Every structure is written in C-alpha cells, then in structure tokens.
Chain A
Amino acid sequence: MGGIRCGKCVRKLEELPMTTPGLMQLRIEMAENLAVAEINPAVLTLSALTQKISELGFKPVPLAANDHSLKFRHREDRSDLIRLAVAAACAGNIMTFSFATYFGETGEFYGLFRWLSFLLYLPVVSYVAWPFYKGAWNSLRQKQISIDLPMAVASLSGFFYSVFELLRGGHNIYFDSLSGFLFLILVSRWGQKKMQRHFLRASDIAETFMLEKVKRFFNGQWTWTPVEHLQEKDLISVAAGETLPAEAELISASGNFSMAWLSGELESKTFLRGAVIPAGARVQSAALDFKISKLLPDTAFGKILQEVQKFNLSKNRLVSQADRWAQTLLLTVFSVAVVFLFLYWNVSAEDAVQRSLALIILACPCAMAFGTPLALAAALKKAQRAGLIIRNANVFENLQKVKTIFLDKTGTLTETELTLAPCEVPPTYQKIILALENDSHHPIAFAFRQAFSIPQQLPKVENLVENPGYGVSGTVAGHSYRLAAGHDDGQISCALFENEILRFNFSFSADLKPDTLLTVEELRARGYRVCLLSGDKKDSVLELARTLGFTYSDIFYSADPVEKARIVGATPGAMMVGDGLNDSLAMIKSQVGVSTCGGVEAALKSSDVYLTRPSLKQIVSLLDVGHDSLALIRQNLRISVIYNCIGGTLALLGFVNPFVAAVLMPVSSGFILLSTWLRSRE
C-alpha cells in the first residue's frame, strides 16, 4: 500500500470498515507499507475495495499469493523473541536462587537451590543456546571460526563443569553467569539485527523512484496495474508528477518531461509524438499516453534501481577482512585460554577453570563481526540521503586511496543543457530540424526544441540515421538533410546541410554547473590534485581552466576516450568524474569512477558512484561519507582491541569472574552498537 505517510493516513484507512459494508477490518503495518484487509466476498469484491482506497489517495497493490518474504521474516523474529523470553525467565530465576547462596545460605536449602539452578539451566543449555551450537558447528565444518563458537563452548563447558561440581559438592557452579550471559548476548544480537535491517531498508531515493503501479488500458478499460505486471506494447497513461515506469513511445501529441533522474536537469524537456521516452522521466504536462517499448528491468534506469536495492555486503573486502581478524582474535583467545588452563591447573584447578571461562566469555570480536558491516550499511544510507548512489561497499575503501581527481569538462563541469544562440530560421526549416531531431536525446536536440516553437505536425522523415555525437541525417520530401555537430573555436556548433549545400550554422553555449568553482577550490584545499581531462579543443579547455585556476600541468585537452583512459590508468589513486561515452574507459581504469547526472548508459555501467544531483558539491559529500565511515570502523576496532586486551588480562589475573564477564561482554557489544548508531545519525 503506497502513500502511507503518517498517523493520519493510518487512521483514515483503518476507519474504512465503518463506512464500507463487507469490509470487516483493515489493519496497517507502516514499517512494511502493508495493509491487511478482512473482507466478506459476498458483499465486497477486492477490486471494489482497491478502487475505494485509491479514491482516498493511496496506491493499493494486491500482493502475490506466494509472497512469503514478510511472513518468513516475522516467523524468524518470533522464534528469536521466544528464545529471549525463555532465557530471561530462566536466568532471572536462577539468579534469584543463587543470590541466596552467595549471601551465605548453607543449610538445607543450599543444596535445593543449587539443584534448582541446574534444572532451570536445562532449557537454556538446550533450547536457548541452540542457535549458537548450530552456527558454531556449521562454521567448523567449513574450517572457520565464527563468533558463535566461544558462546557454544562457554555454554557447554560451563554446563558440564558446573554439573561436575554440583555432583561432587564443590562450590563453583556457574549456571547463573552462563544463563545471564546467554540472555544478554541474545539481546545484543537482537539489537544488531534490528539496526542492520533499519539501515539496509530502501532509502529515500529508492522510495521516491519506487514505481508502484500505473494506469493501463487492458481489456477495454483503464485499470491500475502493478509495474511488475506490465508487458511490452501495453498502453499506459502517466499523470503529471508521476515517473515513467518503462521505456515507452509517446502517443500523445507532445509532452513535457523532467529528466532529473536521468540527467540531473530540473527544467522540462519537450518531446513530440513518436519519440521514445526513457524510463525514469517524470511527466510534467498533463497526463500522457504511452506505448511501452522496453520494460523497466531492461532499461538503464531499472538496472540502477536493482543495484540500489540489493546492496550486498558479504562480498565486501572490508567485511571479509574484518571476519578474518575476528577469527584470528577468537583463535588467539582460545589458545591462550587452553594454555593458561594447563599452566595454572597445578596451582589451583578451580581458579584455572574459572579464569579460563571468564576469558572465553569476555572475549568479543564484536567490532569486527558486526561493527564493520553495520558501519558500512549506515554509511550507505547516509550517502543515499545525500543523493549519492553507491554501487558497492568497496568504494569506501577505494576512496581512501584517491589522491588525484580528474574532471571531465562537457557535461561534468558544464551543464549538459545547451542554449541556441539567437538566429533567424524560417518555420519550414525549423520543422525539418525538429523532425530530424525528434528522437534524439542529444543536448543540441533539446536546445532546438527549447528555441523553436513546436508545430502541430512534423514532416515525415525517411532514412533517419543518428550518429551519436556527430549528427543526424534523413530525407524529407525528397530532399536529403544533414545536421552535423561540430566544434567551432571552442563553441559547440551545428550545421544544417540541404542536399549537401550548407544552409545554416548554429552555435550553442553552456554554463558552468553551480558550485563548480567552490568545489574545485575545496578539493584543492583538502590536498587533492585536481585535473581537467577533456576531449574538447585546446582553446575552450584552456579558457575554462583559467576560470577555475588550474595549473598548466593539470590540464589535458583533445583527449579521446583511449587517451583519457591512458592518462587515468597511468596515475595511481585516481578518481574519474565524468559522463557520456567518452569517459567509461577512463572510469574503469580509475580507483573510483563517478558519473554525474547526464550519465549515459555506458558511463553508468562502468562507474562506482552515481551522482543524482546536478551540483558538483556531491563529490565533496562522497569523500566525506567515505572518510567518516572508515573513521567509524577504525574507532570501533580500537575500542574492541582495548577492551579485549584489558579485559582478557584482568580475567586471567583473576579480577574478573565469569559472572562479571557475562555482563561485560554484551555491554561492550552494546557500546559498539551505540557508537555506530550515534555517529550515523549526523
């Protein structure tokens, strides 16, 4: 159910049963954008209900019958909670009984209380600790040590040792410490899971993009259809303010679109009937009709959405490295505990066991095991809020290595939008030019459409050929026409040839993007070497470079794509910021490739970061996010190392008994969770 924004919406919907016969109950789950309705099918049909809900301004989409993901997640959460409850109840009761023994109870109840502790620990050692045994066993089978292993070992060895002590009448039983420990660990894991889910949930950008349903003309009538059910050649109608959910041919006479998601420009572009509009364009005029030519998953835009939604942390280098460190730590702790046990056994067996147990319980590779993935997920969310789409988490690590930033000129530093210099063009020729450029997404085409008045009818063009970057050609009413783009003294220009005779020359200008100068200065102030890398001719490049204060050695002009790639490849620690076909080769060679809006499909495929806003300041935001996230990871690691060293030493020296260790360990995890959460909120 899309469109639920606040409590009022919830109320509006949940009150519906009062005014809708046949609707028994409507329950909203805000976090999942879900609504559960109970209907009496004899009185009210599902489609009538969806119609009524749509009229209220929401977007109901019936879930597929076999959409079990939410149910599965709920079931998982439920069993975790039940385990928590059992652990808490048992731990609490065991502690009640053991307190008495600590305070000196020695009479008839002493034995009774100890046996009660034992009995109450049985559900803990079996049911509550079960996930730890399973996890530890699975990881051992793969010859790895997971964080479950110390818990499993502590739980079982503590159990057996305590039973042994109980039977022979010894004093040290640890059912209370162990059950308290297991409970607290489960609590911190619960907190971690919730936090991770919160960070990894689709962020603002994806939600804004999220195209839920669209009006489709099907079986003779217009119906709201979920985007997933659309087919090629479907007729759809998209209203003003809505995003086109597929690549489609415009059927209405003309339409205004904002290509903000695709090119970053906020002004509207005009397209005429027959033009193919890319997915992601937002309709700005009245409702328009389209015929779908390509479905969302096949479009460049759709592919970005898929990337954003399935951000995968497991293959990330930092996380794998953190995992390896965690394993090293655990291995070290185990070896130390075993060695200590043997060495100290002769001094005092009881103490030896107690101290080793305390050590095992205390040691926590928490910062590595979940602090790092959590910090990365939090950083990703922060980045998305700042308008950055990051393809994979390795980017954060690579950002640290960047020393030089290469900036492309056209489209990156300057606006992709061009303005046609004033000129006199008779209407017949205007129509011909518009007809030739009808399907083109080239900035020159947009400039023409902006400058010329749109006629009712466009002349028909035969043999239309577009050479991206070079021009278009075609035949109109028997005459062959060619629009050739070119460079003229550093200005972008275009010439119209009729039957190979030059008729008109056009020139275009482009402004600098906002904040360009500020950004370049900021980057220099931070110590980066900023270079201009452009395919344009010497004059136009030098002119821009002078405005922005580049030194001569940092300027590269007339660089074709291969040359750009060579320059970038020869520079270690390079970040390439660009767009268009020209830059994709260079981006692949760079440490971090950033594509700005105006991004063409090839650039988007080969870059690591995609800027969704037109301002160049986003580069600075990107560097900030990368820096902050790594700083957080390092801080967490430092906390963890200090804690383990000091705590471990104290445990071995006998200052920390297993009970205290059982409290300290979850507290330290909680501390790390807290620090991650706090730092990610800025």
Chain B
Amino acid sequence: MNILYLMIPVSLLLGAFFVGAFIWSINDGQIDDTETPSHRMLEDDNGGL
C-alpha cells in the first residue's frame, strides 16, 4: 500500500489543477451568462466555421 504515498499527492495536485481551471474559466467570464447559450445552441450554423 506504499503506492498511496505517491497517489495521494498526485490526486491532490490533480484536484488543485481542476479547481484552478475552474477559477480561470470563471474569471474569463464563461459562466456569467447562463441563459443565452441555451438559445444559441438551438440555431444552426450557416457557414462560419
């Protein structure tokens, strides 16, 4: 079970990374508007990408 001494720090680092990514996405303003994307999603793309 000594592998745990490796796994614990790795899992904590992974967790920290994801929290950091979440914080980044919030500060980037991705979660500010939760209503429009649901409407935008229903429209088809004409050309564009």
Contact = CB atoms under 8 A, between A and B. Distances in A.
A624 interface: no
Contacts of A30: 33, 35-36, 39
Interface residues of B, number: 27
Interface stretch (A76-84, A152-160, A169-177, A407-415): A76-84
Contact of B36 (A10, A78, A89, A93): A10
B6 interface: no
A653 interface: no
A11 B32 contact: no
Contact of A7 (B16, B22, B32, B39): B39
A77 B40 CA distance: 22
A81 B26 contact: yes
B46 A78 contact: no
Contact of B46 (A10, A15, A81): A15
A85 B33 contact: no
Contacts of A18: 47-48
B39 A82 contact: no
A31 B35 contact: yes
A29 interface: yes
A28 B39 CA distance: 11
User: Which of A6, A11, A86 has the most chain B CB atoms inside 10 A of its CB?
Assistant: A11
Interface string A132-160: 00000000000000000000000000000
A309 to B, nearest CB: 21
Given A29-B33, A81-B31, A86-B19, A11 B12 contact: no
A12 B13 CA distance: 44
Interface in A41-80: 74, 77-78
Given A85-B19, A85-B23, A86-B19, A6 B39 contact: yes
B32 A29 contact: yes
Contact of A11 (B15, B23, B43): B43
A46 B43 CA distance: 27
B35 A109 contact: no
Interface string A631-651: 000000000000000000000
Contacts of B36: 10, 28-31
Contacts of A32: 33
B18 A77 contact: no
A116 interface: yes
A483 B25 CA distance: 73
Given A15-B46, A30-B39, A78 B18 contact: no
How would you classify the secondary structure of chain B's contact residues: helix, strand, loop or mixed?
helix
Contacts of B31: 77-78, 81
Interface in B1-49: 1, 4, 8, 11-12, 15-16, 18-19, 22-23, 26-27, 29, 31-36, 39-40, 42-43, 46-48
A7 B46 CA distance: 15
A109 B43 contact: no
Given A18-B48, A30-B35, A78 B27 contact: yes
Given A29-B33, A31-B33, A81-B31, A14 B40 contact: yes
Contacts of A31: 33-36
Given A85-B23, A109-B4, A10 B43 contact: yes
A30 B26 CA distance: 19
A681 interface: no
A109 B18 CA distance: 25
Contacts of B43: 7-8, 10-11
B5 to A, nearest CB: 9
Interface residues of A, number: 25
Contacts of A11: 40, 43
A29 B30 CA distance: 12
Interface centre among B34, B35, B36 (most CB of A within 10 A): B36
Nearest to B36: A30
A67 to B, nearest CB: 16
Contact of A82 (B8, B26, B29): B26
A93 B15 contact: yes
A12 to B, nearest CB: 9
A10 B40 contact: yes
Given A11-B40, A78-B26, A89 B18 contact: yes
A7 B36 CA distance: 8
A349 to B, nearest CB: 33
A89 B19 contact: yes
Interface string A427-454: 0000000000000000000000000000
Contacts of B46: 15
B40 A109 contact: no
Contacts of A8: 43
Nearest to B42: A7
Contacts of A14: 40
A81 B25 CA distance: 11
Contacts of B1: 109
A77 B31 CA distance: 9
A93 B23 contact: no
Nearest to B34: A31
Interface string A1-32: 00000111011001100100000000011111
A112 to B, nearest CB: 8
Contacts of A7: 39-40, 42-43
Contacts of B40: 7, 10-11, 14
9 contacts: A7-B39, A11-B40, A29-B33, A85-B19, A85-B22, A86-B19, A89-B18, A93-B15, A116-B8
Interface of A: 6-8, 10-11, 14-15, 18, 28-32, 74, 77-78, 81-82, 85-86, 89, 93, 109, 112, 116
| The 7 nearest A-B residue pairs measured at CB | A7-B39, A11-B43, A31-B35, A30-B36, A29-B33, A85-B22, A89-B19
Given A81-B26, A86-B19, A89-B16, 15 more contacts: A7-B40, A7-B42, A10-B39, A10-B40, A11-B43, A18-B47, A30-B33, A74-B29, A77-B32, A78-B31, A78-B32, A82-B23, A82-B26, A93-B12, A93-B15
